[in-house]
A and B are shown apart, each in its own frame.
Chain A
Amino acid sequence: MSVNVRIPTILRTYTGGQAEVTAEGSTLSEVIASLEKNHPGISARVLDDQGKLRRFVNVYVNDDDVRFDNGLETATPDGSGVSIIPAVAGG
């Protein structure tokens, strides 16, 4: 399963400045492991010490916030778009 991952500005130091990279995996968890393999250090920025998504990181698979789905176990079908976005607010 190959997916496209959009990388936020603050993580692009790990991807050589690339805003979008490809990764493999059928779940978000596997996609993050795949990212870590190709871009060492990136996983620790997205996951906390317990291996959970950091609370100020939002991840979307296609248009859906994974917190409304199965979190790290959310399915990432072939060709999906995954976006990693720092949480912000306003109104």
Chain B
Amino acid sequence: MAVETIASTVSASTDFGPAVALSCRECAERFPLGPIFACEVCFGPLEVAYEFPSGDPEGLRKRIEAGPHSIWRYAPLLPVPADVASKPNLDPGFTKLVKADRLARELGVTGALHVKDDSGNPTHSFKDRVVAIAVEAARNFGLTTLSCSSTGNLAGAVGAAAVRAGFRSCVFIPHDLEAGKVVMAAVYGGELVGIEGTYDDVNRFCSELIGDPLGEGWGFTNVNLRPYYGEGSKTLAYEICEQLGWRLPDNIVIPVASGSQLTKIDKGLQELVKLGLVEDKQYRIYGAQAEGCSPVSTAFRAGHDVVRPQKPNTIAKSLAIGNPADGPYVLDIARRTGGAVEDVNDEQIVDAIKLLARTEGIFAETAGGVTIGVLKKLIETGQLDPAAETVAINTGDGLKTLDAVAPTTGPTAIIRPTLDSFREAGLA
């Protein structure tokens, strides 16, 4: 019955490549591909189900390697048409996997340590990956306005992608975000609306808007297009494994806001194993939160399998989601793989941003500081094996959150333009 009801309200899809349906992660009820996000039976989140070609992993690997240097090289594994690379999109992805030897030495890591640096995306955060997929879904469904509820990075990614792909955009953010993120979201010329409240209030507003005639024809990347949008995070898993020479790392440390990215990276790793693109072996997934918004790490430590919402209070605003929808799945995955979910306080976040910058030349935003700070804590507390191969994900650029480090970062000295002055400052 559920399928018939949904089918009657949704435009027919055109081309979603290997995607065949939406499937409820909770109760497994299936629905036709459409701009819907919650299961009609149990309210569970819907995710994309695929029928992948099987039997020729070597051929698939070669096809991927011959593809464009963007996420579209993985088009055979995504809900997009085969000719997606020819459509106007920001073409994100294939960012650097940096071998972080100097950081490893500082942290006492004896195995290989890598930083997947997603600040190299078009709008300088991993959000370009997820938005790129949502844009193609919006195009398929004939939607005309792109929108989102955002803690900042997503708003910028949607604004830029909308312009490139020819959509109107109207995005919603908490009114008190970092100036850098507000400017980055506004500069692309779409409408940017500040909401008086937290991210969770913004999210609630958008959920109500999508159910109202006012929201007709709108594609909210992280609401009604969320099943497609989320799939973009799988490309982080694909790239990491390909860049490691088509193999799984031992550990991955991932920041957790809603938990979507972590769950999709796990999904991507599982798909690579099933398709025979990498050899199966144990890997551990670790989630990283800020202490001031730590509903998932708190639940992990308490042994709970549900997440109690919190009111966020942290400098890591891009992770400040107090009621994380995918929190229970993060707990499941961390426990299933033998990983953990940890948190660090604001001071540790700033220290970690500086640590990554001074060891590897990578300037991370606060979320990246959370990841590196948690990596350090996991090693110090014996929760992560320093002899194993670890990948930590930096999801965004430090230029977006200058306020976090500006009070404690500045010139070593201000001097007159003379050699004497230079000498007197003790810099010679």
B189-208 interface (Cβ within 8 A of A):
199-201, 203-204, 206-208
Digitize A68-87: 1 where CB-to-B-CB distance is under 8 Å, 0 elsewhere: 10000000000000010111
Describe B's contact surface by its main secondary structure. Answer: loop
Partner of B26, one of A56, A83, A89: A56
Least Cβ distance of B110 to chain A in Å? 34
Indicate if the CB atoms of B222 and A90 lie closer than 8 Å: yes
Indicate if the CB atoms of B38 and A89 lie closer than 8 Å: no
Indicate if the CB atoms of B207 and A91 lie closer than 8 Å: no
Instruction: Decide yes or no whether B226 CB sits under 8 A from chain A.
Output: yes
Digitize A14-47: 1 where CB-to-B-CB distance is under 8 Å, 0 elsewhere: 0000010000000000000000000000000110
Partner of B43, one of A6, A86, A91: A86
Say which size band chain A's interface belongs to.
20 to 34
Digitize B6-46: 1 where CB-to-A-CB distance is under 8 Å, 0 elsewhere: 00000000000000000000100000000011111111110
Indicate if the CB atoms of B309 and A89 lie closer than 8 Å: no
Interface 9-mer from B98-106, B111-119, B149-157, B386-394: B149-157
Partner of A85, one of B26, B208, B306: B208
Complex contacts, A83 vs chain B, CB 8 Å = 204, 208
Indicate if the CB atoms of B38 and A10 lie closer than 8 Å: yes
Complex contacts, B324 vs chain A, CB 8 Å = 89
Known: A13-B5, A88-B37. A65 touches B150 (CB 8 A): no
Indicate if the CB atoms of B258 and A91 lie closer than 8 Å: yes
Most buried by B among A58, A65, A89: A89
Q: A-B contact count, CB below 8 Å?
A: 105
Partner of B207, one of A13, A67, A68, A86: A86
Partner of B258, one of A10, A54, A63, A89: A89
Cα separation A55 to B5 with both chains bound (whole Å)? 23
Cα separation A30 to B223 with both chains bound (whole Å)? 30
Indicate if the CB atoms of A65 and B309 lie closer than 8 Å: yes
Digitize B255-278: 1 where CB-to-A-CB distance is under 8 Å, 0 elsewhere: 001111000000000000000000
Partner of B259, one of A10, A45, A55, A89: A89
Indicate if the CB atoms of A88 and B5 lie closer than 8 Å: no
Least Cβ distance of A35 to chain B in Å? 15
Instruction: Decide yes or no whether A1 CB sits under 8 A from chain B.
Output: no
Indicate if the CB atoms of A89 and B42 lie closer than 8 Å: no
Indicate if the CB atoms of B321 and A89 lie closer than 8 Å: yes
Complex contacts, A65 vs chain B, CB 8 Å = 200, 309, 323
Known: A87-B323, A91-B319. A55 touches B306 (CB 8 A): yes
Cα separation A19 to B207 with both chains bound (whole Å)? 13
Residue in chain B with minimal CB distance to A89: B258
Indicate if the CB atoms of A90 and B260 lie closer than 8 Å: yes
Cα separation A90 to B42 with both chains bound (whole Å)? 20
Indicate if the CB atoms of B203 and A68 lie closer than 8 Å: no
Residue in chain B with minimal CB distance to A67: B309
Mind listing 14 A-B residue pairs with CB under 8 Å?
Answer: A8-B207, A9-B210, A56-B26, A65-B309, A85-B204, A85-B208, A86-B43, A86-B207, A87-B43, A87-B325, A88-B38, A89-B257, A91-B319, A91-B321
Chain A residues engaging chain B, CB cutoff 8 angstroms = 6, 8-10, 13, 19, 45-46, 54-58, 60, 63, 65, 67-68, 83, 85-91
Top 4 closest pairs, chain A to chain B, by CB: A90-B222, A89-B258, A86-B38, A89-B325
Excluding A56-B38, A91-B154, 5 further A-B contacts by CB distance (< 8 Å) are A54-B43, A87-B45, A87-B323, A89-B259, A91-B321
